[in-house]
Amino acid sequence: MNNIFVYCEVEEGVVADVSLELLTKGRSLANELKCQLEAVIVGAGLKDVENQVIPYGVDVVHIIEDLRLAPYTTSPHAAVLIKLFQEEKPQIALMGATPIGRDLGPRVSSALHSGLTADCTSLEIGDHEDKKAGKVYKDLLYQIRPAFGGNIIAWIINPDCRPQMATVREGVMKKEILNVKYPGKVNHLEVSKYVSDTDFAVQVIERHLEKRKINIKGASIVVSGGYGVGSKENFKLLYDLADVLGAEVGASRAAVDAGFTDHERQIGQTGITVRPKLYIACGISGQVQHRAGMEESAQIISINTDPEAPINALADYVITGDLSEIIPKMIKYYKQNTK
């Protein structure tokens, strides 16, 4: 009772990175709250899947296995979580802000009338005093996220409803094994007790999974462009620089919305989170939603015509000027100095 639950996504028997990241975060929250960490795995072909999650400090793994539970569809997975949460009464439930978590989370939160905060960039434990009601709430989950076009950071709480639910994007939290011999237990659930046959009315009749062609998350250098790049043509300069440096190209949401480059390159709260050795921000003003996806970069270069661009505050090097002049010079001097 009152433990922390993490819904773990599985594709072909492999637990998703985002779920392992949430288990890592869940473990540290559980330590702070002195409660247990429990994982829920729903799917098919789950033999020994517990071995993938227990080392992250999971005390109990709930596994529910049935051929019809993979690939994911909403209703059966939601039915499992709704009933399990009613039985176990977790205080906190976390899931990835993935197409699955963002499909499942709201469904479960609606059924349980518990609050859900999407795309959190940070989770903390803290108290809350409701002065009007004269009530003090101890040890709430602060669900912290940029809001409103990134102009503010909001601390969201669910004082009265449980579980406190939040989704977090892949790459936002760090993934760290606690102990390969962690003594976690397995609890196999019987599918017929949780899911009824009518829950399987939606059928996946075909699936084409594409390997991600672009690996921005794993790149050690990212050259990223914002609205200030100005055009699709200018964006080519960024590809030129990335080619020379062995970097990947990223973009802010404004650049993606403007059609300068593809959606899959978007970095930020609603895109990818990166932690490269070097992040070169070109024509990016630096709204908080973008910064949420790159501020842990080891070094940051900002190229901007505006010397007061907010992103410059994060930068180690600020180059003020026109990127169509600066980028070719960077390429030229890089080549000269590496010969």
Partner 1 sequence: MKGLRIIVLAKQVPDTRNVGKDAMKADGTVNRAVLPAIFNPEDLNALELALRVKDEIPGTTVTILTMGPGRAAEIIREGLYRGADGGVLLTDRAFAGSDTLATSYALSQAIKEMGEYDLIIAGRQAIDGDTAQVGPQVAEKLGLFQVTYVEAVLKIEKSKITVRRRLDNGVETVKAPLPLLLTVNSTAPDCRSRNAKLLMKYKHARTVTERQAATEDYLYLYDSRPFLNIHEMTVMEIKSEPDQLGLAGSPTKVKRIENVILQAKDAKRLTAADKGINDLMKELIDSHVIG
CB-wise, 57 or 101, nearer to partner 1? 101
The CA-based dihedral angle spanning residues 74, 80, 83, 84, taken in that order and rounded to the nearest 10 degrees? -130
CB-wise, 180 or 204, nearer to partner 1? 204
CB-wise, 178 or 221, nearer to partner 1? 221
* Exposure of 240 in the CB half-sphere (CA atoms within 13 A): 16
Q: Say if residues 61 and 185 touch (Cβ distance below 8 Å).
A: yes
The nearest distance, CB 4 to partner 1, in angstroms, is 18
Q: Say if residues 30 and 80 touch (Cβ distance below 8 Å).
A: no
Q: How many residues does the chain have?
A: 339
CB-wise, 45 or 307, nearer to partner 1? 307
Enter the tokens of residue 119: 């795309």
The nearest distance, CB 218 to partner 1, in angstroms, is 15
The nearest distance, CB 212 to partner 1, in angstroms, is 7
Measured on CA atoms in the order 121, 308, 329, 338, is the torsion positive or negative? negative
Q: Which DSSP string corresponds to 69-96?
A: G-S--HHHHHHHHHHHHHHH--SEEEEE
Residue with token string 């990134």: 150
CB-wise, 27 or 253, nearer to partner 1? 253
The nearest distance, CB 51 to partner 1, in angstroms, is 24
Q: Say if residues 57 and 183 touch (Cβ distance below 8 Å).
A: no
The nearest distance, CB 190 to partner 1, in angstroms, is 24
